[in-house]
Structure 1
Amino acid sequence: MSIQTFEPKLANVGGIPIARLLPNKGKKPIGAWCFLDHAGPADFGQDDAGMQVGRHPHTNLQTFSWMLNGEVLHKDSLGNHQVITKNQVNVMTAGTGLHQGISHTEQSVFPDMGGSENAARGISMVQLWIALPTDQKIERSFIIILSYRHGARAM
């Protein structure tokens, strides 16, 4: 077995650093994975608004987002309005076909802005983007998996 180390592509999106590990130059995608990103880590000052990603669309994709630190308010075109907190995972499925898709926003929230009293003034999140098979009809959806000491449940 050989181990390879990749250098991620770096970008700033919505006020936070994003390190995109996959795809990587010279490496083919792994299965249905389109992208593997790490957002942050970033720490925000008292007067900083944190991550502010404006409305943008997704089609024929599913995102699996795991909050390692911080809290993010997710709002989407399906009417979901949910704060995703540390250790939670959200799965957003944009659906397939010409009449599917989701547009959404992502914004940091802090204790004084609608977050929990323990919300950190920072963010760290891992996000896996998955290409949906376009030869199947897949409906749009958004779920959060709540983490508990003795298991997890979908919301």
Structure 2
Amino acid sequence: MSDLDPFPAETLCEPVTGAGPVTELYPAREVPLGGVRGTYVERTLPQRDLPTVGAWCFLDYFGAPTVTVTGAPPDIDPHPHIGLQTVTWPFEGMIRHRDSVHSDVRIEPGQLNLMTSGRGIAHSEYTVPDAPAGRGLQLWVALPDDHRDIAPHFEQHRELPVHRAPGLRATVLMGTLAGVTSPAMIYTPLVGADIVVDPATTTTLPVNPEFEYAVLVVAGAVTVAGVELSPGPLLYLGTGRTAVDLNTATGARFALIGGEPLAEELVMWWNFVARDHAEIAAARAAWEQRDTDRFGDIEGHPPEQRIPAPPLPGGRLKPRSRRPHG
């Protein structure tokens, strides 16, 4: 699920320091994908006052039970990315992923799919005939400055490590949680996990005090660090915690994301993560000019079957301050 808003607003992020332990709720907003296609997702990152959590800079819940259903297939034609990793983690259904580095795979539940764009990649996402509709999370990770121009590549992990505690099972998608490390390639200190807690569970999840964290519930209800959560908003937990208290009567499933607070300025616009206006403009021009050295063709898609880039906003993109937390 990419950012296909025909008039995307820029997201400008300045370097941040640790917020300390906080509990702040950020609402999900319903966002249309693909314009006239009328497919919707719930987006909880970026937020105006919270553009990133560590290097995580984008979080969509696609197929969420509460979004508007139009009946349109959520097929996404070829489109470009730079400067980021896309992380796709489905709960249900199948998605066919194809890209310009010759990947052609089915994305299925329980499989982590990680596409690193580096200097530039193009990809498409289509439904699989006769398969159930997809539901899950797609996230972006901003690549750090010294890796943002690396060669694009794709990896799929069908077996992921699990941290277990009484009443809790945490599948570690990215990075390290409670001493358990994912095989997925990362370029900055972070963690992402899919966590299931059983009914009538009270437990504590150990975390890294140097990371900032956020939680998104996708099923059930759970109290996290004293805040009652159900599906919908993102709970930002700040930094400085060595553990997070969890309590649930009914059971719950939630995503945990975290990482070292971002120490670099970013400009996010459309499907690009960059450092300044010129870099965004150059990537857009390369896509519109069909620069196949930067954004290669995708097998099975004719060259004309691609999503055009929206117009750049007026003026130059300039960083804005992240609101202090706490």
Q: Please list every run of 5 or more consecutive structure 1 residues that lacks an aligned counterpart in the other structure.
A: 43-47, 112-118
Alignment deviations for residues 53-80 of structure 1 (CA, whole Å, 9 cap, x no partner):
1110011110111011110000111111
Question: In the alignment, which of 122, 125, 144 is matched to residue 133 of structure 1?
Answer: 144
The answer as to whether partners of 1:49 and 1:108 remain within 8 angstroms in 2 is: no
1:3 to 12, 16, 23: 23
What is aligned with 1:45?
A: none
Show structure 1 runs of 4+ deviating over 6 A. 148-154
CA contact (8 A) 1:39 1:126 kept: yes
> 1:24, 1:53 → 2: CA distance?
24
Q: Gaps spanning 5+ residues in structure 2: where? A: 1-20, 66-70, 163-170, 172-181, 185-326
Across the aligned residues of Structure 1 and Structure 2, the Cα RMSD in angstroms comes to 2.6
Superposition deviation, residue 123 in structure 1: 1.5
| Alignment match, 1:115 | none
What is residue 104 of structure 1 aligned with on the other side? 123
Q: Which amino acid aligns with 2:142?
A: A
Is the 8 Å Cα contact of residues 69 and 87 (structure 1) preserved in structure 2? no
CA deviation after TM superposition for structure 1 residue 39, in Å: 1.0
Match of 1:30, SS state, is coil
Q: 1:148 to 1:22 in 2, by over 3 A?
A: closer
Query: What percent of counterpart residues are identical?
Result: 34
The secondary structure found in structure 2 opposite 1:4 is strand
Q: Deviations over 1:120-150 (max 9, x none)?
A: 2x11121120111122353211011114899
Structural mapping, 1:1-155, within 5 Å: 2-14=22-34, 15-41=38-64, 50-95=73-118, 100-111=119-130, 119-120=131-132, 122-136=133-147, 138-147=150-159
Please say if residues 66 and 126 of structure 1, whose CA atoms lie closer than 8 Å, have aligned partners that are also in contact.
yes
Give the strand-richer structure, 1 or 2. 1
Superposition TM-score, scaled by structure 2 size = 0.38
